[in-house]
């Protein structure tokens, strides 16, 4: 009983020390996104799917491009980045860049605290789920709340394992266990392109089932589902350039239902890759990591296609692979930064958000063209759904004028605007609370 009293008292102190919590203000009721699917098509180079490009082999001969009508349908309804390149053309580093936003990331960085999109999203109450056939190194798996992954990374003898944290909904856990056992049914009796396509198809179907389950059974629970389909990369390595393209085309056929589910359930769909694929000549097996391949456009150029309820339709000329992680957070209206990222937000959202952090509660007023848009008392407020343009922010005695063309975090040093007295008072109050708490705890323990 004494221990319970101590715990309760400590919780009370923590509550008192939390001077103010983050405030969200919907300025213009932007389109709601309930989560996102990050679809990583391992080894799919944009040279083989974008109509603007022609892929070439190392010997200079032109290679075939895939007919991807569904991928282009998705692109036409959303945003497509034309020239985006992987700085590291191998699987683990490529995935590391995608989830940290750092162009030189490695698996060790992924394993650090607060380094990835998963760390940031979890703080914002997202569930992090994954279905991964490649790129599922231990640091990546450790960041997921639940994951299905191929422990063998072999299309000949795949071995699907599952890891899940205790708080994952029981129904989701059962669903993922069911899909864990279904891959053999997809592969039975299939060889060549058909087997590779079925391997990808299982991952897409399992992902579609997870999205539907979450949307229909836990509609208020936001989530990120990271999906890696591995057979495109494997086809490049083992089947050669012509059948590599065929496997991409088979994947394209499978994507339509997933896309329709994302539209129906207000889910953002991001299609990209960890790296591309290069071939020495027509019909030959390819690669991407060795020196003779790594410097080619075919190995470096990757797609980036984003579809969602708040995404502007159009083509963006260029971007970087390290831009994908911060852009994903922006699309989800998550106003936090990735500490190791050297990427930026690609400007494809239909509106902007403004986060104002003062460190001390005060009246914060947002004006546009002399008209008050919103007024709130807080030390950390995010205005969501702003039209692009010039705004004036009044934070206590501080005045800031800012041109907002993208999500912006404005940090105001309240001590620089005459808040020394408030700081002194706050420190004194904290000292009194903590001191009183220690005395009370001592008395409780003594009794």
**Where are the chain's structural domains?**
35-331, 351-417
Closest by CA position to 128, among listed 93, 159, 161, 172: 172
CATH 3.40.720.10 fits domain 35-331: yes
Confidence of residue 435 (pLDDT cuts 50, 70, 90): low
Confidence of residue 282 (pLDDT cuts 50, 70, 90): very high
CB burial of residue 308 (10 Å; 0-12, 13-18, 19+) = buried
3-state DSSP assignment of residue 274: coil
Query: Looking at the predicted structure, is the pLDDT value of residue 428 above 90?
Result: no
Query: Looking at the predicted structure, is the pLDDT value of residue 434 above 90?
Result: no
Give the Cβ contact number of residue 266 at 10 Å: 16
The whole-number pLDDT of residue 197 equals 99
The whole-number pLDDT of residue 359 equals 87
Query: Looking at the predicted structure, is the pLDDT value of residue 438 above 60?
Result: no
Q: At what angle do helices 170-180 and 192-217 cross, to 10 degrees?
A: 170
Q: What is the mean pLDDT of residues 168-175?
A: 98
Q: What is the DSSP string of 107-152?
A: HHHHTSTT-SHHHHHHHTT-EEEEEESSS--HHHHHT-SEEEEESS
Q: What is the mean pLDDT of residues 157-180?
A: 98
Confidence of residue 31 (pLDDT cuts 50, 70, 90): confident
The whole-number pLDDT of residue 342 equals 98
Query: Looking at the predicted structure, is the pLDDT value of residue 171 above 90?
Result: yes
The whole-number pLDDT of residue 22 equals 82
Q: What is the mean pLDDT of residues 346-374?
A: 95
Between CA 333 and CA 244 the distance in angstroms is: 37
Q: What is the mean pLDDT of residues 36-61?
A: 99
Query: Looking at the predicted structure, is the pLDDT value of residue 278 above 90?
Result: yes
Cite the DSSP H helix spans in 309-392.
324-331
Between CA 431 and CA 340 the distance in angstroms is: 34
Give the percent of the chain with pLDDT over 90: 85
CATH placement of domain 351-417: 2.60.40.10
The whole-number pLDDT of residue 17 equals 39
Closest by CA position to 116, among listed 150, 148, 89, 140: 140
Query: Looking at the predicted structure, is the pLDDT value of residue 433 above 80?
Result: no
SS (H, E, C) 228-271: EECHHHHHHHHCCHHHHHHHHHHHHHHHHHHHHHHHHCCEEEEE
Closest by CA position to 31, among listed 389, 331, 344, 367: 331
The whole-number pLDDT of residue 413 equals 79
- Please check whether the two domains, 35-331 and 351-417, share a CATH topology: no
Which of residues 390 and 421 earns the better pLDDT score? 390
The whole-number pLDDT of residue 32 equals 85
Between CA 80 and CA 78 the distance in angstroms is: 7
Average pLDDT of the chain? Answer: 91
Q: What is the mean pLDDT of residues 168-193?
A: 98
3-state DSSP assignment of residue 363: strand
Which of residues 420 and 326 earns the better pLDDT score? 326
Between CA 353 and CA 344 the distance in angstroms is: 15
CB-based contacts of 439, cutoff 8 Å, min separation 6 = none
pTM exceeds cut of 0.75: yes
Q: What is the mean pLDDT of residues 12-20?
A: 39
3-state DSSP assignment of residue 376: strand
Where do the DSSP E strands lie in 286-338? 304-307, 314-320
Q: What is the mean pLDDT of residues 218-237?
A: 98
Number of H helices, E strands in the chain: 15, 15
Between CA 358 and CA 62 the distance in angstroms is: 57
86: tokens are: 């992987």
Which of residues 194 and 1 earns the better pLDDT score? 194
CA 259 from chain center: how many Å? 17
Rama region for 76: left / alpha / beta (φ>0; ψ in -120 to 50; rest) = alpha
329: tokens are: 């957070």
The whole-number pLDDT of residue 414 equals 64
CB 15 within 8 A of CB 433: no
CA 54 from chain center: how many Å? 30
Pairing of strands 146-150, 127-132: parallel
The whole-number pLDDT of residue 446 equals 52
């Amino acid at each position: 009983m004494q221990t319970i009293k101590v715990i309760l008292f400590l919780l009370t102190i923590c509550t008192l020390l939390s001077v103010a919590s983050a405030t969200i203000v919907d300025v213009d009721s932007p389109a709601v996104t309930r989560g996102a699917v990050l679809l990583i098509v391992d080894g799919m180079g944009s040279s083989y799917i974008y109509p603007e490009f022609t892929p070439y082999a190392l010997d200079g001969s032109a290679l075939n491009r895939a007919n991807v009508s569904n991928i282009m349908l998705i692109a036409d309804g959303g945003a497509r980045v034309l020239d985006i390149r992987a700085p590291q053309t191998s699987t683990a580093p490529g995935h590391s860049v995608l989830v940290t936003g750092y162009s030189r990331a490695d698996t060790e960085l992924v394993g650090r605290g607060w380094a990835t999109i998963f760390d940031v999203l979890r703080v914002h109450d997202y569930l992090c789920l994954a279905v991964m056939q490649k790129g599922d190194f231990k640091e990546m798996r450790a960041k997921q709340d639940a994951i299905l992954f191929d422990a063998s990374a072999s299309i000949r003898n795949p071995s699907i394992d599952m890891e899940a944290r205790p708080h994952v909904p029981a129904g989701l856990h059962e669903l993922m266990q069911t899909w864990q056992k279904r891959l053999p049914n997809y592969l039975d009796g299939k060889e060549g392109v058909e087997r590779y396509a079925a391997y990808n198809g299982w991952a897409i179907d399992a992902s579609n089932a997870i999205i539907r389950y979450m949307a229909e059974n836990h509609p208020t629970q936001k989530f990120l589902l990271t999906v890696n389909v591995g057979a495109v990369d494997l086809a490049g390595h083992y089947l050669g350039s012509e059948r590599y393209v065929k496997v991409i085309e088979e994947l394209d056929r499978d994507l339509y239902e997933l896309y329709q589910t994302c539209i129906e359930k207000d889910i953002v769909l991001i299609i990209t890759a960890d790296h591309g694929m290069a071939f020495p000549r027509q019909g030959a097996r390819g690669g991407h990591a060795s020196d003779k391949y790594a410097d080619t456009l075919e190995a470096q150029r990757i797609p980036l296609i984003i579809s969602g309820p708040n995404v502007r339709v159009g083509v963006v000329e260029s971007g970087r692979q390290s831009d994908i992680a911060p852009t994903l957070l922006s699309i989800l209206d998550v106003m936090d930064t990735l500490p190791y990222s050297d990427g930026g937000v690609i400007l494809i959202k239909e509106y902007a958000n403004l986060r104002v952090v003062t460190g001390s509660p005060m009246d914060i007023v947002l004006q546009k063209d002399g008209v008050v848009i919103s007024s709130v008392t807080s030390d950390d407020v995010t205005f969501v759904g702003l039209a692009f343009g010039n705004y004036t922010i009044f934070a206590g005695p501080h005045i800031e004028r800012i041109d907002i063309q993208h999500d912006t975090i404005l940090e105001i040093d309240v001590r620089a605007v005459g808040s020394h007295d408030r700081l002194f008072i706050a420190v004194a109050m904290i000292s009194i609370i903590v001191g009183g708490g220690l005395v009370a705890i001592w008395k409780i323990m003594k009794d």
